[in-house]
Structure 1
Amino acid sequence: MKKIKLSGIIIYTLVTLFSLCCILPMVLVFMVSITDERAIGMNGYSFFPEAFSLEAYRRMIYPGSPLFRSYGVTIVMVVAGTFLAVIMTYFAAYPLANQKVKYRNGFALYFFITSVFNAGLVPWYLICRQLHMYNNMLALIIPSMVFTPFNMFLVRNFIKDVPVALMESARIDGAGELRIATQICMPLCKPVLATVTLFYGIGYWNSWFNAIMLVDNSSLYPLQMLLMKIQSDIKMLTMVNGASTGMVLPTESVKMATVVMTVGPIIFLYPFLQKYFVKGIIMGSVKG
């Protein structure tokens, strides 16, 4: 029988405790979301609520609810925006990692400056309106599609680790730069591309600012925008009618329910990208 060392017991115990610290808050959020509002007011948050209630979910999910349409808008926004942003990031990083490209350091400095300074909100809004990115899906995708310099430098540093001899042999065999970039280099960059995909995907999933600034049509509201509107409507009803009628609206449980409905789906991305995530972060950050 294999002996278990004391160090192994300590490591497994610490990992288990850390895992519980990560899981228990989500369990608490879910339990509060199915707790009656009066019980929350009397007893606060609890893992074992005295009174169960699905009123918070009924306020958001009902026949004809716009929630499902918002889910669809968000999914299209996440898939299309993330794909385009990753492609742009990769093809901006690839030439900057190629030592034969002139002025690559100057271009890198140009990208870096954009991460420190920006033109401001008013020019951004005017440009979006001038390009007809208003009340359409482009308004939700294009303004956030421009890659962040951090992700670009992460991909560039990873590409620098790809053996130069591999690319040179492809050039000798007659392969062009586009073929080298797409068929040789890109498959080797799976870890870092998976990492930036996760970054862009989470950014699009949590996006609400573009909807506030550029969308007036409620049928184009993404999930975050709709849930924020539901919360504000319930808060307003509580202030207007709650005091006079004694009606108790599920304000706290709705907050927790929105967390469950927004965080839950994006969590499923992590198991598919986890094996690439750490490798992409480490290998993409070791070079300057």
Structure 2
Amino acid sequence: MNKATSVKPYQKVSKLAALLLHTIFIAFSLACILPILLIVAISFSNEKLLTLKGYKFWPDEIDGSAYHHLFANSSTLMKAYGVSLSVTFIGTLLAVLLIALYAYPIFRKDFPFKKIFNIYLLITMLFSGGLVPFYLLYVNYLDLKDTYVALILPGLSNAFYIFIARTFFQQTIPEEMIESGKLDGASEWRIFFQLVLPISLPVLATIGLFTTLMYWNDWFNSLLFINDSEKFSLQYVMIQMIRQAEFFKNQLAGSGVALLVQQSVPTESLRMAMVVVSIGPILFVYPFFQKYFTKGLTIGAIKG
């Protein structure tokens, strides 16, 4: 039989369909990339021209005053960078480990209390104690005021991520593998770390990416628990900077020197410069998770 006639009709993709698919994906990619390029362009724009002519992908006049204003106190910014990097790294590792340690027992059929722990997780997703009890617990009872633990502890557990990990274990980990490990004399800890975790990298990477984004973008815990400026996170320091700039601009604008204010306090371009500075580590980390991200998210999202 001729090879050309053996090809099924649904296996043939016309050039028009291929062109349409490529066009759609290119348009989608541009929709993701162009906003980032626009943010970079605005961060290098002159504040006065930005106010008069609006946003442009290529600024009429390249101006680095926003970055100069941002790095005017570089020591504070670098300390905040170190705090955010440390909290994000330590918090992500601990959170992924604790989530996996919780999800593994409730996936096991021989665990007698799995229903109780599942109901407990569901309750935490539906109900919250509120902000005041949350603050009193960390400050009055745990005495975590002005400590790095106060920045790490709130993000160590997430019921939704635990359910994702549990579902992934149900869909991926065969009971026969666990039984064979027991027959070989392996302990529960050895089965978990040497058999379960190595084949669970997709879901661990997915949860790790979400947790990394949560820790890196967090500023609220610094607002609640941190008074020592040496322990402020990067996001909180940047929020303080933009608030100070806006306050200074509003005060001077009322005195009739608005044009001078636009040049000396570049609030709009400063916002975009902060986005550029803060987005760097995330762009660096994402490629390490990308290999496992889609598989972990899709398998873990299947209801089991």
Same fold (TM over 0.5): yes
1:228 corresponds in structure 2 to 239
Q: What is the identity, as a one-letter code, of the residue corresponding to 1:131?
A: L
Task: Give the SS at the match of 1:184.
Answer: helix
Task: Give the SS at the match of 1:26.
Answer: helix
8 Å CA contact retained: 1:95, 1:101: yes
Q: What is the identity, as a one-letter code, of the residue corresponding to 2:300?
A: G
Q: Structure 1: where are the runs of 5+ without partners? A: none
* Separation of aligned partners in 1, 2:154 and 2:87: 12
TM-score, structure 2 as length reference:
0.91
Pairwise mapping of residues 1-288 of structure 1 onto structure 2 (< 5 A)?
5-62=15-72, 64-129=74-139, 130-145=141-156, 147-161=157-171, 162-244=173-255, 245-246=257-258, 247=260, 248=262, 249-288=265-304
Deviation per CA, 1:123-177, whole angstroms, max 9, x where unpaired? 11111012121111111111222x1111001001111121111111110000011
Q: What is the identity, as a one-letter code, of the residue corresponding to 2:120?
A: Y
What fraction of aligned residue pairs are identical, expressed as a percent?
A: 36
The CA RMSD measured in Å over matched residues stands at 1.4
* Separation of aligned partners in 2, 1:267 and 1:195: 15
Deviation per CA, 1:67-118, whole angstroms, max 9, x where unpaired? 1110000000000111111111000000000000013122101111101101
8 Å CA contact retained: 1:128, 1:143: no
8 Å CA contact retained: 1:191, 1:276: yes
* Separation of aligned partners in 2, 1:254 and 1:50: 17
Runs of at least 4 residues off by over 6 Å: none
Structure 1 pair 197–261 and aligned structure 2 pair: CA distance change class (3 A)? same
* Separation of aligned partners in 2, 1:120 and 1:272: 36
Task: Give the SS at the match of 1:280.
Answer: helix
Q: What is the identity, as a one-letter code, of the residue corresponding to 1:258?
A: M
8 Å CA contact retained: 1:212, 1:225: yes
Q: What is the identity, as a one-letter code, of the residue corresponding to 2:43?
A: S
Q: What is the identity, as a one-letter code, of the residue corresponding to 1:41?
A: T
* Separation of aligned partners in 2, 1:82 and 1:148: 12
Deviation per CA, 1:40-74, whole angstroms, max 9, x where unpaired? 01100111211111111111113643111100000
- Count how many residue pairs are aligned between Structure 1 and Structure 2: 285
| 1:228 shift after superposition | 0.2
Deviation per CA, 1:154-202, whole angstroms, max 9, x where unpaired? 0011111211111111100000111101110011100000000001100
* Separation of aligned partners in 2, 1:45 and 1:237: 23
